[in-house]
């Protein structure tokens, strides 16, 4: 999986590391509103979805920092954990988020990758104005963010 990071926007390069039935889940399985903000969000079938994510992320943000902090492997796959700092290209807002990647393999190639981050933080790097009224606490208190 880490080999892909050396050239993640080259489809032919990335295809050598993925199976024909490769599935990439970015941030969630299906969330139409989030997909309007981040077109790569959701379940993507085929290597093209993974590559397009790297292309789009490079268009929406500049990567200021990307660090892998730890990784684990077993016979069923691997997990990678780290942090990144992005600055949104339109508003110039900087955000730092942890990330986690789950990868599954088949015959030495990736068959499934799931990527998670602090989506609340990354989406806020695109927010120009307005408030969210949050009602999450069972005591019925409200907060504005």
pLDDT digits (tens, 9 = 90+) for 95-141: 999 999 999 999 999 999 999 999 999 999 999 999 889 999 999 99
Query: Can you tell me the distance from the alpha carbon of 50 to that of 25, in angstroms, rounded to the nearest whole number?
Result: 9
Residue 1 has pLDDT above 80, yes or no: no
Residue keyed to tokens 């408030």: 131
- Look up the pTM and report it: 0.90
Cβ-based neighbours of 36, under 8 Å, separated by 6 or more: none
Range of the domain at 27: 2-144
Backbone angles phi, psi at 92, to 5 degrees: 70, 25
Helix (H, G, I), strand (E, B) or coil at 72: strand
pLDDT over 90 at 76, yes or no = no
pLDDT recorded at residue 75: 86
**CATH number of the domain enclosing 114:** 3.10.450.50
Residue-wise pLDDT tens digits, 14-43: 999 999 999 999 999 999 999 999 999 999
Cα(89)–Cα(80) distance, integer angstroms: 26
For the chain, what is the domain count?
1
Residue in the block written with tokens 């730890």: 70
**In the chain, alpha helices (H):** 11-15, 32-37, 47-60, 119-124
For residue 118, what are the contacts with CB-CB under 8 A and spacing of at least 6? 95, 97, 98
């Amino acid at each position: 999986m880490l080999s892909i990071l050396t050239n993640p926007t080259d489809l032919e390069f990335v295809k050598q590391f993925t199976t024909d039935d490769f599935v990439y889940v970015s941030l969630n399985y299906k969330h139409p509103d989030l997909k309007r903000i981040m077109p790569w969000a959701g379940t993507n079938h085929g290597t093209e979805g993974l590559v397009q994510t790297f292309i789009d992320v490079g268009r929406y943000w500049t990567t200021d920092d990307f660090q892998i902090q730890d990784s684990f492997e077993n016979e069923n796959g691997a997990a990678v954990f780290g942090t990144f700092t992005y600055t949104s290209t339109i508003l110039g807002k900087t955000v730092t988020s942890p990330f986690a990647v789950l990868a599954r393999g088949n015959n030495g190639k990736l068959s499934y990758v799931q990527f998670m981050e602090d989506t609340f933080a990354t989406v806020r790097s695109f927010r120009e104005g307005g408030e969210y009224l949050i009602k999450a606490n069972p005591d019925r208190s409200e907060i504005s963010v």
